[in-house]
Every structure is written in structure tokens, then in C-alpha cells.
């Protein structure tokens, strides 16, 4: 919460993937996919930080780098004040128990040849928790109950469950190590609409009951507006806007966020008719060759002179809530909204690059 040091902090984070060139006769030439390309971000203990952006902008890569499933190419990830790059292999392994990921596609992330009991028990075995057959079995049953599954079904296989139940298995597995920080990577996107709300409610309840901290990755801005305390908007490997969820979604300051918000269907037919949708032209540029200056300039309806030349940095926007910058975590403004720090990286808010 505001006033405490963040649980997770990324500084100058880059994750680049070397790729072999697709061009004929140039097979030895490699290009670099800049999936995450200079991200500064923190997640406060107990909060939900929503992360939104189009497909391929780097959300999953960022989430996996924060839990150190992927090694950063540059920059640092601190967990509870400790730079994870300074840890020995065994210290990093025990730190991993405090972090978990819930993946989008429960079917793909569960081993079809293992019973769900064995799958849920895997982190217990890895981290040496609840040793002994009976204690481990009891713990697996407990975890199944916590996520709304029948413990008597522990001997069943993933294909014997529905999509929603399989996601509950994935959630139970994520909880097994008793994590503090959970990356929920589009946890309801592959589920039937009828069960999405149930799984969402389960995630909200678990956060409350276990004091979890979430990075909630989603394409769905409306869902993020509901569950997140703050929202970060990502475009081509960068955070382009961040702030309290109501500020960012109801009063977007970056043209990209404006376009995302304008695509969200309105709750009533009257508002839906009045909705002014901003349709972005052009394709998303390749993360191997982002445009010069502002990366959004090739699609931005508001592009102007400085945009191709200067790379905008995140800076405070708006009125009162601009007072609390990203580093206002320890600040004592007494204004909750200010402490959330609404920031955007756009020259419309002053040219700095
Ligand atoms: N292991 C990898 N090797 C090479 N490129 C990768 C790898 N993982 C991701 N990428 C590339 O990095 C970029 C970001 O991918 P990422 O999966 O993080 O995006 P995303 O925002 O999660 O997309 P989606 O919404 O579709 O899940 C994409 O261009 C992707 O092709
Ligand atoms: S900096 Fe320029 S191109 Fe980038 S979002 Fe702002 S107005 Fe658009
Ligand atoms: Mg993804």
C-alpha cells in the first residue's frame, strides 16, 4: 500500500530476444526483438496493477521477467527490496516460491498425463513443503477446496474437467507455494463468458483472504477497471501511461490509451450509440525495429512535429493527481489519488526526450 516500499520494482528493464533473420541469403544475421524495452514499474504490496495493451506489446514477457521466469537482458528486478540478479541459484529458487503465474490457457499449461492432484502438489515437492505423503495429500485437498474443487477429484486428469475447473486447478497450483506476488496472465480470456465472472470473483476473494499482490494482465480494459487499483498501458515494449485505474480509464491522457478506451463497449444502448470510437490506422510496427522518437507516432491521430525526433518519457499529467510521481510510493501527500501518480509518455504533455 502507499507509504510502504513496493513488493516488486523493475528499473530500466529490457528483455530482448535474438532472432535469426527471415531474409534469404542472410541466415547468419540476427535481429533483436525488443519485447520489453526500458520499463520502470513498481507493484505495491497488496495491490492489483492492471497491465493492458495490444497483442505482442510485451505484457507476458514483462510479467515473466518480474517473476524471473525470464532473465532480463538489462535493468533490474527487485523483490521485497532485494535485487534478484545478486542472488545465488538456490536463493533465487527459494525466492521463486514467493511468486507465481496463472496462465491464460489452463489446458496448455497443465500436463495431460498427470493427475490434477500431482499437478497441484508439484510446487510442494519442488519447495519441500508439507513433507510426507499424508500431509501433502491433505494440503492438496485443502488447496482444491480453497479454489472450489472437490478434493475427491484429485486422481482425475485435466481432460475430465471443464475449462473453468481447469483454470481452478491452475490457480490451486499457483497458490501451493504460498506466494505473495502472482502474475495473472489473461486468466479468464480463454474461458466461456458464463464462467469468467466466477473465476474473476475467485481471484478477488483469494487476494483478500491471502493478502496477495497481483499483476493482472488483460486485453479487457473494462475488466481491469473493475479489479485493478492502478493500470499500466503498454505499447511496443514500453509503459506509455500509468496511474490509478479510474484516472487512466475514465480520463486517459495518452492517445493510445484514448483509442483503447474508445474501443470498450458502453454499458447502455444510449451510451453505446454515442460512443466515439477511435480506429487506429496501420499495423503495429515490428518490435525488432521500433519507430524513431515516439514509438506510437506511426499510428497516432495526434502526431505532431517533435514526435519523430524525441522519445517521450513518462511524466505527471492532469491536475492534482499528477503530484504523486512513480516514486511517490513513500510520499505522504495525504491524497490517495496523488499517491497513485498518473503519468503519460507523450509530447502533448510537454516535450522531453
Ligand atoms: N521466446 C521468445 N522468442 C522470441 N520472441 C519472443 C519470445 N517471446 C515473446 N516474443 C516476442 O516478443 C513480443 C512480445 O511478446 P509477448 O508474448 O510478451 O506479448 P503479449 O503482449 O503478451 O501478447 P499477447 O497479448 O498476444 O499475449 C512479441 O513480438 C513476441 O513475438
Ligand atoms: S508523442 Fe506524439 S506521436 Fe506519441 S502519442 Fe504523443 S502526440 Fe502521439
Ligand atoms: Mg501474453
Q: φ and ψ at 252, to 5 degrees? A: -65, 145
Which pTM value belongs to this model? 0.91
Q: Give residue 267's pLDDT.
A: 79
Q: CA–CA separation, 127 vs 129, rounded Å? A: 6
Cα separation, 303 vs 285, whole angstroms: 16
> Please, what is the average pLDDT of the chain?
89
Would you state the pLDDT for residue 330? 31
If one counts the domains in the chain, the total is 1
Asked, for residue 154, whether it belongs to a domain, the answer is no
Q: What is the pLDDT of residues 293-343, one digit of tens each?
A: 999 999 999 999 999 999 999 999 965 444 333 433 333 333 333 445 999
Is the CB of residue 317 less than 8 Å from the CB of residue 348?
no
Examine residue 330 and state whether it is found in any structural domain, yes or no. Answer: yes
What CATH code is carried by the domain that includes residue 45?
A: 3.40.50.300
Left (φ > 0), alpha (ψ -120 to 50) or beta: where does 25 sit?
A: left
Q: Which parts of the chain sit beneath pLDDT 50?
A: 320-339
Q: What percent of the chain has pLDDT over 90?
A: 76
Q: What is the pLDDT of residues 274-296, one digit of tens each?
A: 888 888 888 899 999 999 999 99
128: in domain: no
Q: Residue 187 domain-assigned? A: yes
Main-chain dihedrals φ then ψ at residue 122, nearest 5 degrees: -55, -50
Give the residue, by CA position, lying nearest to ligand 2 atom 6: 346
Q: Which of 260, 298, 304 to mutate to test the pocket of ligand 2 (most atoms within 8 A of CB)?
A: 304
Asked if residue 123 is part of any domain, the answer here is no
Is the residue at 120 inside a domain?
A: no
Half-sphere exposure of 49 (CA within 13 A, CB side): 29
CA distance 95 to 245: 29
Within-domain flag for 149: no
143 within a domain of the structure (yes/no): no
Residue list, ligand 1 pocket, CB within 6 Å = 17, 19, 33, 35, 53, 55-61, 287
Q: Whole domain around residue 216: which residue ranges?
A: 8-98+179-349
Q: Give pLDDT, residue 274.
A: 80
- Beta-strand pair 82-83/74-79: antiparallel
Ligand 2 pocket residues where CB is under 6 Å: 254-255, 294, 296-297, 300, 302-304, 307, 312, 346-348
Which three cell numbers mark 3?
Answer: 507509504
Task: State whether residue 121 is helix, strand or coil.
Answer: helix
Amino acid at each position: 500500500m502507499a507509504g510502504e516500499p513496493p513488493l516488486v520494482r523493475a528499473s530500466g528493464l529490457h528483455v530482448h530476444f535474438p532472432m535469426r533473420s527471415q531474409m534469404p541469403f542472410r541466415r547468419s544475421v540476427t535481429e533483436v526483438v525488443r519485447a520489453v524495452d526500458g520499463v520502470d514499474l513498481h507493484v505495491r504490496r497488496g495491490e492489483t496493477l492492471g497491465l493492458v495493451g495490444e497483442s505482442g506489446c510485451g505484457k507476458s514477457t514483462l510479467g515473466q521477467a518480474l517473476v524471473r521466469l525470464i532473465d532480463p537482458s538489462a535493468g533490474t528486478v527487485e523483490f521485497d527490496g532485494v535485487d534478484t540478479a545478486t542472488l545465488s541459484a538456490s536463493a533465487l529458487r527459494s525466492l521463486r516460491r514467493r511468486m507465481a503465474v496463472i496462465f491464460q490457457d489452463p489446458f496448455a499449461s497443465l500436463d495431460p498425463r498427470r493427475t490434477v492432484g500431482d499437478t497441484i502438489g508439484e510446487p510442494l515437492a519442488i519447495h519441500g513443503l508439507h513433507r510426507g505423503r499424508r500431509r501433502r495429500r491433505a494440503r492438496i485437498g485443502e488447496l482444491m477446496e480453497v479454489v472450489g474443487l472437490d478434493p475427491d477429484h484429485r486422481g482425475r486428469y485435466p481432460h475430465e474437467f471443464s475449462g473453468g475447473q481447469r483454470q481452478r486447478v491452475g490457480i490451486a497450483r499457483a497458490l501451493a507455494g504460498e506466494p505473495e506476488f502472482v502474475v495473472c496472465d489473461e486468466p479468464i480470456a480463454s474461458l466461456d463468458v458464463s464462467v469468467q465472472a466466477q473465476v474473476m470473483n475467485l481471484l478477488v476473494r483469494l487476494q483478500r483472504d491471502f493478502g496477495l499482490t497481483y499483476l493482472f494482465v488483460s486485453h479487457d480494459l473494462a475488466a481491469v477497471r473493475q479489479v485493478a487499483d492502478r493500470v499500466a498501458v503498454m505499447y511496443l515494449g514500453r509503459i506509455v501511461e500509468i496511474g490509478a485505474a479510474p484516472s487512466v480509464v475514465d480520463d486517459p491522457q495518452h492517445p493510445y490509451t484514448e483509442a483503447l478506451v474508445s474501443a470498450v463497449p458502453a454499458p447502455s444502448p444510449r451510451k453505446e450509440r454515442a460512443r466515439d470510437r477511435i480506429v487506429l490506422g496501420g499495423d503495429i510496427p515490428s518490435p525488432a525495429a521500433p519507430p524513431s522518437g515516439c514509438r506510437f507516432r506511426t499510428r497516432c491521430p495526434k502526431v505532431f512535429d517533435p514526435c519523430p525526433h524525441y522519445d517521450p518519457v513518462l511524466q505527471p499529467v492532469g491536475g492534482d493527481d499528477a503530484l504523486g510521481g512513480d516514486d511517490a510510493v513513500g510520499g505522504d501527500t495525504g491524497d490517495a489519488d496523488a499517491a497513485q501518480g498518473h503519468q503519460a509518455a507523450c509530447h502533448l504533455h510537454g516535450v522531453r526526450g
